[in-house]
């Protein structure tokens, strides 16, 4: 029996106490085991309470994973260590097949422990981590009997890699089953043999598309791809599994299973079988990746290279390549940032969860006032999540237009095959009702208003509305700029009012700002958070201020871009510099997309709210006077749109100074640092409760590039010293709007950071 050495793993603090006691127990066990190394004793007496359980009947061994104190199974060091221990014991066991499954219902293994990977500081440390994992997976692969992984839920990253080390994989036909190698989304690659074993299992091209995209597939798709060898219904799992095991005794059957896995089209087979073909495939996919990532994300490229280069080599060599690729990636800033964001997501979830008070009531009926694009998209969100929604506008024409918009969103889903036509029709029929008056609103649990941005009209509408809804009904406004307090002041019961700010297009953008009125009741905020979560959106609670959080930071950046235009800079150059920086769309193109009138109105609100710091440049006012120049919707804005082509609008030149070329650095600094400065002010004023939430809001709300880790993360990496210096300089050159805020000065003065260093975060 191999001597087992416990490694002091870095484990989550919440689990540490359990693990410690477990470790003590197991140390004594090992000692005992050396004395009386009978298998049954070891298992029966000791491992029962642990995370890896083993049972055996009719020479079929069942190994089930059950992570302590967790809803999901995560491959952390502690569970892997136990696994290792059990495998060593098992290797001498006389059984005919080993089943590896999860003890949790509809949960397989949701991946590796990101905290552990995030904590890796050097390539050597990463290598050590991986080699240890590989040893264990290697043991599974080399067991003297076949192994079957029963995938009954999410099987992601390390979870899939473990399943791939098994001889066979079967999956349940269940919605919870999702099979993926999502590592590239975190800036790394599947480091436990995923790139090598998957490509060898199902063929190169099919594997590449999964590895490079990180996208998940459901059980049926996984079966047709050949990742899993059989699909079972949960109810008949045991009997079907028995039959499956029995069928494995026939070599013909085994060959059929193997043949089915590799099934792919003839051209693909030819392409994969020779070096030239693989080189072509490499180039082809490379181009696709570059088009999507614009070179900002190295992980898909490395993952691709590792997969293709390792394919023709022996597995051992391939795995060495993979380890090298992983070690290279794991220390890149991109990976650190993407993992930071992943962890931040969890943090933000917890943060909003703190607002949630337990209650029985859920929102069953909603009303949306205003059937414009925004209103319709919000109504769709309710409908899609099976919440009944009444769509109201002031006349049938508008209401019907809204219904059409909802239908269009459903049609897009049908086109993408996310939904069947019948299902979409049924949802529309079951959940959406229309009205042009206040009839039937008494049943609503929440009313979301998305009408014109005009304070008086909103106040009047809410006043009328209050007569037609129940006392408990939550009233929410989707205003993007008007004061929540001012709207609330028109209400008899302002304690049920809050701002619920969706971002356009609401069916796609993942962020919702929740702005409670000052007197807003706790359970109202809680219910609003829950309904936003039910829509699968990320809510962030924000304190009221003009523009709230995202627009307050975004608008100065857009306005600054327009100022640069006014000073004679080329429109397309500004957009190009910013998109090269990593933003999904340039500020001026964004301006056109939102609509110049809408943007101007928000900018006006900010100017009124913050004074000269947010002053609107004259060029914006002059552009408002141009006929039919409202942006993309009129085909003319800062750009002119003709079909898919766009060119700069020459009419604007009359408002600009003679062409002058600024340095790229100046443009970037002016646009980005004005955002950073404003973001720090928001933090200082407690508009949002943590820098993590602020960064998340900017990523989800305006698509701030994730590889930079978020706006404030970008600022911290750049160094607050440098930012202070540049801003002071800019303030001298361009005016007081660049005046560095107190928070920035303070940070520099005390040499502070906003985000904890990696080590601290891991334990804190």
Partner 1 sequence: MSKTTRNNRIAVIDGLRTPFCKAGTDLAHLEADQLGALCVKELMQRSKVEENQIDEVIIGNVSQPVKAANVARVIALKAGLSSQIPAYTVHRNCASGLQSITNACSSILANQAQTVIAGGTESMSNIPFVYSKELKFVLESFMTAKTTAQKLGALRLFKFKYLKPIIGLQEGLTDPVCGLIMGLTAENLAREFKIDRHEQDLYALESHKRVTEAIEHNRYADEIMAISDKHGKKMITADNGVRLNQTIESLEKLKPFFDRKNGTVTVGNSSQVTDGAAAMILMSESRAKELKLTPMGYIRHYSYAGLEPDRMGLGPVYAMSKCFETSDISFSDIDLFEINEAFAAQVLACHKAADSTEFAKTYLNKSKKVGTLDPKKCNVNGGAIAQGHPVGTSGTRIVLTLLHELKRQNKTLGCASLCVGGGQGGAIIIERH
Q: Which residues are catalytic?
A: 501
134 lines the binding site for partner 1 (CB under 8 A) = no
Distance from C-alpha of 194 to C-alpha of 182, rounded to nearest angstrom: 11
- Least Cα distance to 161 among 204, 203, 109, 225 occurs for 109
Distance from C-alpha of 214 to C-alpha of 193, rounded to nearest angstrom: 15
Q: Which of residues 641-660 bind partner 1 (CB under 8 A)?
A: none
Smallest distance from the beta carbon of 432 to partner 1, in angstroms? 9
Distance from C-alpha of 744 to C-alpha of 747, rounded to nearest angstrom: 5
- Least Cα distance to 51 among 24, 20, 19 occurs for 19
Binding mask 21-60 for partner 1 (x = CB under 8 A): ----------------------------------------
Smallest distance from the beta carbon of 176 to partner 1, in angstroms? 22
Smallest distance from the beta carbon of 466 to partner 1, in angstroms? 18
Q: Checking DSSP bridges between strand 60-65 and strand 52-57, what pairing results, if any?
A: antiparallel
- ∠ CA 739-742-748 to the nearest 5 degrees? 100
Distance from C-alpha of 460 to C-alpha of 362, rounded to nearest angstrom: 28
Q: Which of residues 172-231 bind partner 1 (CB under 8 A)?
A: none
Q: Which stretch binds partner 1 (CB under 8 A): 46-54, 396-404, 584-592, 618-626?
A: 396-404
User: Measured from the CB atom, is 332 or 433 closer to partner 1?
Assistant: 433
User: Measured from the CB atom, is 6 or 396 closer to partner 1?
Assistant: 396
Distance from C-alpha of 540 to C-alpha of 355, rounded to nearest angstrom: 10
Q: Which stretch binds partner 1 (CB under 8 A): 388-396, 493-501, 513-521, 668-676?
A: 388-396
User: Measured from the CB atom, is 104 or 390 closer to partner 1?
Assistant: 390
Distance from C-alpha of 709 to C-alpha of 721, rounded to nearest angstrom: 19
Smallest distance from the beta carbon of 449 to partner 1, in angstroms? 18
Rg from Cα positions in the chain: 29
User: Measured from the CB atom, is 120 or 419 closer to partner 1?
Assistant: 419
Q: Which stretch binds partner 1 (CB under 8 A): 79-87, 397-405, 553-561, 586-594?
A: 397-405
User: Measured from the CB atom, is 389 or 747 closer to partner 1?
Assistant: 389
* Burial classification of residue 512, based on how many CB atoms lie within 10 Å of its CB (0-12 exposed, 13-18 middle, 19 or more buried): buried
User: Measured from the CB atom, is 436 or 580 closer to partner 1?
Assistant: 436
Binding mask 335-374 for partner 1 (x = CB under 8 A): ----------------------------------------
Q: Checking DSSP bridges between strand 639-642 and strand 645-648, what pairing results, if any?
A: antiparallel
- Least Cα distance to 44 among 106, 103, 89 occurs for 89
Cβ distance 97 to 144 under 8 Å? Answer: no
Q: Is 725 helix (H, G, I), strand (E, B) or coil?
A: helix
Q: Which stretch binds partner 1 (CB under 8 A): 134-142, 392-400, 519-527, 721-729?
A: 392-400
Cβ distance 369 to 402 under 8 Å? Answer: no
Q: Which of residues 398-437 bind partner 1 (CB under 8 A)?
A: 399-400, 403-404, 407, 426, 429-431, 433-436
Smallest distance from the beta carbon of 439 to partner 1, in angstroms? 5
Distance from C-alpha of 764 to C-alpha of 755, rounded to nearest angstrom: 12
Identify any residues that bridge with 61 across adjacent strands, giving them in sequence order.
56, 98
388 lines the binding site for partner 1 (CB under 8 A) = yes
392 lines the binding site for partner 1 (CB under 8 A) = no
User: Measured from the CB atom, is 201 or 434 closer to partner 1?
Assistant: 434
User: Measured from the CB atom, is 19 or 371 closer to partner 1?
Assistant: 371
Distance from C-alpha of 562 to C-alpha of 570, rounded to nearest angstrom: 10
User: Measured from the CB atom, is 317 or 420 closer to partner 1?
Assistant: 420
* Burial classification of residue 602, based on how many CB atoms lie within 10 Å of its CB (0-12 exposed, 13-18 middle, 19 or more buried): buried
Beta-carbon contacts of 266 under 8 Å, excluding residues fewer than 6 positions away, are: none
Smallest distance from the beta carbon of 429 to partner 1, in angstroms? 5
Q: Which of residues 433-492 bind partner 1 (CB under 8 A)?
A: 433-436, 439-440, 442-443
User: Measured from the CB atom, is 414 or 434 closer to partner 1?
Assistant: 434
Smallest distance from the beta carbon of 434 to partner 1, in angstroms? 7
User: Measured from the CB atom, is 290 or 400 closer to partner 1?
Assistant: 400
Smallest distance from the beta carbon of 405 to partner 1, in angstroms? 10
Hey, how many other C-beta atoms are within 10 angstroms of the C-beta on 508? 10
- Least Cα distance to 541 among 559, 557, 520 occurs for 520
What own/partner pairs with CB < 8 Å and gap ≥ 24 does 741-748 have? 741/677, 741/678, 741/680, 741/681, 741/684, 742/684, 743/680, 743/681, 743/683, 743/684, 744/676, 744/677, 744/680, 744/720, 747/680, 747/720, 748/720, 748/721, 748/724
Smallest distance from the beta carbon of 410 to partner 1, in angstroms? 13
* Helix H or strand E encompassing 312: none
Cβ distance 49 to 69 under 8 Å? Answer: no
Count helices and strands in the chain by DSSP H and E runs: 33, 18
- Least Cα distance to 153 among 131, 171, 138 occurs for 171
- Site for partner 1 (CB under 8 A): how many residues? 21
Three-state secondary structure along 545-560? CCCCCHHHHHHHHHHH
| Residues found in the chain | 764
Distance from C-alpha of 522 to C-alpha of 143, rounded to nearest angstrom: 57
Smallest distance from the beta carbon of 523 to partner 1, in angstroms? 21
* Helix H or strand E encompassing 83: helix 77-90
Distance from C-alpha of 483 to C-alpha of 488, rounded to nearest angstrom: 9
Smallest distance from the beta carbon of 356 to partner 1, in angstroms? 25
Q: Which of 396, 584, 665, 725 binds partner 1 (CB under 8 A)?
A: 396
Smallest distance from the beta carbon of 403 to partner 1, in angstroms? 6
* Helix H or strand E encompassing 447: strand 446-449
Cβ distance 402 to 376 under 8 Å? Answer: yes
User: Measured from the CB atom, is 436 or 689 closer to partner 1?
Assistant: 436
Smallest distance from the beta carbon of 470 to partner 1, in angstroms? 10
Q: Which of 390, 496, 521, 662 binds partner 1 (CB under 8 A)?
A: 390
Distance from C-alpha of 359 to C-alpha of 343, rounded to nearest angstrom: 28
User: Measured from the CB atom, is 236 or 396 closer to partner 1?
Assistant: 396
Residues forming contacts to partner 1 in the complex (CB under 8 A) are: 388, 390, 396-397, 399-400, 403-404, 407, 426, 429-431, 433-436, 439-440, 442-443
């Amino acid at each position: 029996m191999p001597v087992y050495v416990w490694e002091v793993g870095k484990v989550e603090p919440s689990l540490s106490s359990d693990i410690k006691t477990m470790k003590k127990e197991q140390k004594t066990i090992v000692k005992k085991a050396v004395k009386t190394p009978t298998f049954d004793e070891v298992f029966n007496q000791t491992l029962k309470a642990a995370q890896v359980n083993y049972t055996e009947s009719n020479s079929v061994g069942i190994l089930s994973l059950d992570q302590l104190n967790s809803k999901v199974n995560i491959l952390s060091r502690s569970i892997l260590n136990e696994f290792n221990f059990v495998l060593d014991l098992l290797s001498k066991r006389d059984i005919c097949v080993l089943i590896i499954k999860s003890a949790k219902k509809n949960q397989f293994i949701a991946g590796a422990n990101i905290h552990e990977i995030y904590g890796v500081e050097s390539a050597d440390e990463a290598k050590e981590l991986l080699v240890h994992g590989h040893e264990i997976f290697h043991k599974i692969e080399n067991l003297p009997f076949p192994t079957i992984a029963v995938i009954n839920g999410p099987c992601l990253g390390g979870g899939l890699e473990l399943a791939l080390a098994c001889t066979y994989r079967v999956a349940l036909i269940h919605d919870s089953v999702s099979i993926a190698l999502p590592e590239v989304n975190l800036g790394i690659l599947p480091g436990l043999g995923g790139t090598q074993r998957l490509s060898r299992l199902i063929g190169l091209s099919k594997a590449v598309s999964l590895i490079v995209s990180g996208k998940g597939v459901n059980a049926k798709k996984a079966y047709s791809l050949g990742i899993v060898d059989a699909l079972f219904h949960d109810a008949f799992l045991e009997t079907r599994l028995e039959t499956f095991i029995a069928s494995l005794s026939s070599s013909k059957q085994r060959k059929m299973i193997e043949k089915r896995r590799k099934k792919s089209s003839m051209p693909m087979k030819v392409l994969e079988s020779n070096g030239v073909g693989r080189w072509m495939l490499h180039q082809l996919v490379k181009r696709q990746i570059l088009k999507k990532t614009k070179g900002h994300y190295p992980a898909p490229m490395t993952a691709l290279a590792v997969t293709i280069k390792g394919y023709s080599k022996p597995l051992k060599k391939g795995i060495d390549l993979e380890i090298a690729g992983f070690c290279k990636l794991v220390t890149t800033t991109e990976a650190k940032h993407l993992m930071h964001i992943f962890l931040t997501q969890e943090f933000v979830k917890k943060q909003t969860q703190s607002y949630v008070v337990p209650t029985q009531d859920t929102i069953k009926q909603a009303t949306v006032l205003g059937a414009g694009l925004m209103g319709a998209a919000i109504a769709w969100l309710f409908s899609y999540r099976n919440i009944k929604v009444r769509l109201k506008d002031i006349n049938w024409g508008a209401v019907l237009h809204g219904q059409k918009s909802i239908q269009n969103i459903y049609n897009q889903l049908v086109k993408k095959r996310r939904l069947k036509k019948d299902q979409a029709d049924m949802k529309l029929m079951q959940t959406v009702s229309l009205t042009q008056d206040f009839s039937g609103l008494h049943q609503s649990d929440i009313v979301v208003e998305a009408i014109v941005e005009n304070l008086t009209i909103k106040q009047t509408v809410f006043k009328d509305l209050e007569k037609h809804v129940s006392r408990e009904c939550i009233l929410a406004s989707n205003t993007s700029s008007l004061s929540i307090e001012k709207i609330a002041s028109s209400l008899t019961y302002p304690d049920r009012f809050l701002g619920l700010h969706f971002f356009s297009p609401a069916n796609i953008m993942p962020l919702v700002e929740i702005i409670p009125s000052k007197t807003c009741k706790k359970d109202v905020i809680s219910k609003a958070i829950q309904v936003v979560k039910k829509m699968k959106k990320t809510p962030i609670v924000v304190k009221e201020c003009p523009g709230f959080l995202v627009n307050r930071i975004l608008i100065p950046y857009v306005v600054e871009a327009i100022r640069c235009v006014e000073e004679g800079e080329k429109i397309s150059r500004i957009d190009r510099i910013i998109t090269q920086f990593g933003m999904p769309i340039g500020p001026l193109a964004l301006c056109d997309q939102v609509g110049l009138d809408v943007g101007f109105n928000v900018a006006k609100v900010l100017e009124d709210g913050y004074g000269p710091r947010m002053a609107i440049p004259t060029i914006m006012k002059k552009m408002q006077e141009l006929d039919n120049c409202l942006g993309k919707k009129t085909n003319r804005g800062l750009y002119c749109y003709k079909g898919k082509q766009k060119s700069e609008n020459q009419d604007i030149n009359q408002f600009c100074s003679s062409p002058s070329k600024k340095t790229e650095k100046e443009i970037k600094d002016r646009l980005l640092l004005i955002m950073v400065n404003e973001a720090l002010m928001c933090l200082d004023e407690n508009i949002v409760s943590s820098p993590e939430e602020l960064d998340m809001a900017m990523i989800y709300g305006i698509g701030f590039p994730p590889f930079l880790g978020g706006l404030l993360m970008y600022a911290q990496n750049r160094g607050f010293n440098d930012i202070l210096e540049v801003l002071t300089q800019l303030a001298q050159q361009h005016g007081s709007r660049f005046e560095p805020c107190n928070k920035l000065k303070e940070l520099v003065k005390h040499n502070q950071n906003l985000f904890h260093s990696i080590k601290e975060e891991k334990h804190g």
